[in-house]
Structure 1
Amino acid sequence: MRAEQRLSFTRWTAGSAAVLLAATAAAACGGREEEGGTTASGECKGQQTTGITDKAIKLGGIYPLSGPASAYGDIPKGIKAYFDYVNAEQNGIGGRKVEFVVRDDGYQPPKAVEEARRLVEQEQVFALFQTLGTPSTTATWDYAGQRKVPQIFVATGASKWGTDTKHPWTIGWQPNYISEARVYAQYLKTEKPDAKVAVLYQNDDFGKDLLGGFKKAIEGSKISIAQEQSYEVTDPSVEPQMRNLAGSKADVFLNITTPKFGSQALAADAKITDWNPLHIVNNVAASITVLRPVGFKNVQNVVSATYYKDPIDPQWKDDAEMKLYTAKMKQYAPNADPSVPYHAFGWAVASSFHKTMQAAKCPTREGLRDSMRNLNNVQVPMLLPGVTMTTGNGDGFPIESMQMMRFKGERWELFGDVIDTRKVFGPLTG
């Protein structure tokens, strides 16, 4: 796949974009052109309008379209389908057609910085929408903050996106890894209160964040960690770590991995005949695209947690949003399989951006920043019933509720109730 994909109906050149920005934004906002954009008037006076006019809005996303985490490359396909649908059938967002430029960082932080600079300085995007991965987002959020560019709904659940007060321009979307870990801890406290847990985790901020959250959440219970094994994203395989973990004889296996290594760990678990733990796979590696290569017979009764609707779950076949999603994916992304959960993820986060942008008091970068940090129980149709987006003063976590699911046959089945970790464990603070 090419490093850059243009996902829009309107093709801009650098020259035409500059002319359009200068002419249209000045007319719409009554301002004069300055370096980096035009000056808005009235309540929005002095705020940044780079990348947005009264007719268009330009967003930039950074994903690992190649490399060890390339499975996430399905996400922008769902985003593209949503924006193409909105552009064609709803006149865009507030009358603005969305152009979505996607860059490939190969899951390499230095490359992510390079692509962020290109999107902001050359492409002149209004916002960075969806920077995928904890390492890549960590490498770029200082830059986004310095340039005062919204880095909205980053595709990583690191807790620091919500607890750090020095980066108001960056915010997450999905449940943070500590909240996800709390859900697994709460489940085990009920189902296996004396559990001995073996853990495989990615040796970076992502893996350490979820593992640390799990350890904190089981404090005071009889649940214990029997053994831990880490891996690097450059490792060819995690089979050696899995053999070591099997020796612990733990009765629960907590699988904290990204898709490639999630598949390897699931396959290795199936091969180890003298170890049969309850297998918990974290959400980011729970896609059907991760499980299918392992063989469905080998992943029966694996559990995980989720917060958005699964396209292959029959309980949503008559759901209005699922019907819309399926139809528009077929129409605007005919080569993308609507049953792939990462496509539904992309659709859901694009819909979340739509609602957040609509709620902005000013069509400016500052207006988007303020809107994303003042969400009040916002309902997004692709999220599970009972899961909404809320942020506010001291709360930078849009979604903190999840529901457990178990793999049966050829799909995930939800069970239990939605667990609101704010209510069960209290608010997550820095």
Structure 2
Amino acid sequence: MFVLSLLLIVINLDRFGIKGNPVEKLVMILTLVVLYFKNGIPKNILVLVSVILGITLISAIFTDHPQFSWKYYFNGLISFMVFLFLLVTRLNSKDVFFVMRFMCLLPFICLVVGVVYFAAGISSVYGVDFLGVVRLKGSIEAAYFGALAGNAVIASVFLLDRTGEKKYLLLAVVNLGFMLLSGSRMATAITVMNTFFLFFWGFNGRTSFKFYLTYFGVLILSPAIIYLSIGLFTRFGSDSMSGRDILWEYFEHISQLYHNFGVGLGHQYILIDERLKELTKTVAAHNEYLRLQLEIGYYMSWMVFALIGLMLMVHILNVRKKINVNFLAYASSVFSFYIFCITDNAMSVTFIFMHFWLVGLASMDYKSPLATGVTESSVFRSISARGGN
């Protein structure tokens, strides 16, 4: 079911006039329910999640926005539950390695589907943004594809560290190329930061050899990296907010009118008229702080963000009782979540919030079910044999 939920996103049901997001989130929540009964969720996590969801319910009960609808609230609630429960979902070692291997390959599947759609005249594999930058997008939006490729980089680095198989080094490089071609600014920055902590503070391989591998790898690949990053550099160099500033001003105005209880979870989409949609080319806030402030009220939104941080801390302490944890990498994933919330839909888009979950899994000392007891990855041992200490 996990595979099905992600394949539904890649297939992109919206291309066929079907609202894909509710279907994708429904399959994902069913997957998480199955995992809950299989692996369980600690009571302290369930209490925190219940409190967070209870806050959104209080907002829904007391909002006086005239367009409030329980239908939109429950749609938003399902999406929010997927985000919350995924972050604290526990897996066994076999499942972790399955997820990571699948994530390594998912960008390729997305590109193949995109090529099929292009051949059928449904959509293009590339898109052109407001700056004229050509962006690789496969079968989905370029921003989502960039996040997907970033997730594949994280998964590849995890598998490289735990198995030492050199094919994962190649997959990491290729997926890095996909991410650069997507022109996704935040996804690239966050992926590079989290990869740094996962790779250099991983559980296998000596840090000195990882440094040499990185140094010479970047040196050799730098011409290709620079070439693939031309569009990304253009986007980084632009001070344009892609119309988000207009949307933020509009949402800020409405949030001031419904300061205490907001307009209701899941209601941001119905507040935007056609003129604003055409002007901004989006219906989402691209700022989760503002979005929750708008939907559940100013004070309760900050309570939710504080409780999410507490939930993540409790989760890693629960995990630490059973296996070792790379706390630097986990802290990096939590920090990157709060940064990502400033400019993107970090709690709404599956491939974005999956990033924090994958980094969290990668920060835990899961052993390969096929190669337990590995103390130093073969790729690093081979470097050691050639290069000395």
TM class by smaller structure: under 0.3
Judging by fraction of residues, say which structure has more strand. Answer: 1
TM value normalised by structure 2:
0.27
Higher helix share: 2
**What TM-score, normalized by structure 1, do the two folds share?**
0.25
